[in-house]
Amino acid sequence: MTAAVATRDLGPAPEPVLVRDMARRGLAFAPLALAACAAGWGVDGAASAGYAIAIVLANFVLAAWMLSTAARISYGLLMGAALFGFLLRLGLVSAAVLLVKDAAWVEPVALGLTLVVAHLGLLFWELRYVSISLAHPGLKPTSKETSSR
């Protein structure tokens, strides 16, 4: 007797939906961050904040792509992509910062503060919109979506 065990996920991937929603919210947050850093550090602060926001959004897009691609191949690869993908992305974020650390336009405090606040802020903000349910993986359905079913 052989039991059928799922070894990969061929269903719709919730990661791209989540990252699009996070990017939309991040771009809405961007003018506030740019204005705050411009007020504190001038044009260089705003440029640093813009660079940090680009890094954060690229990090989230890369994470979603890695996880959704790995899930379609195997669950084991998904676990490896989650662990080692984090380490890889942490290295890429570090490299992106080290690449420009000595540039004339970089304000290190504005860059670092925006990186941390944008990463954590978008993750915690998105928690309000994520459905922690196997019935609706990804974003919570809106009242219009649930009433049409």
Domain ranges of the chain: 14-131
- pLDDT, tens only, 30-77: 999 999 999 999 999 999 999 999 999 999 999 999 999 998 899 889
Whether the Cβ atoms of residue 51 and residue 111 lie closer than 8 Å to each other: yes
Per-residue pLDDT at 51: 97
- Return the higher-pLDDT residue of 132 and 97: 97
Task: Round to whole Å and give the CA distance between 63 and 67.
Answer: 6
pTM: 0.81
Per-residue pLDDT at 1: 46
- Radius of gyration over alpha carbons of the chain, in Å? 19
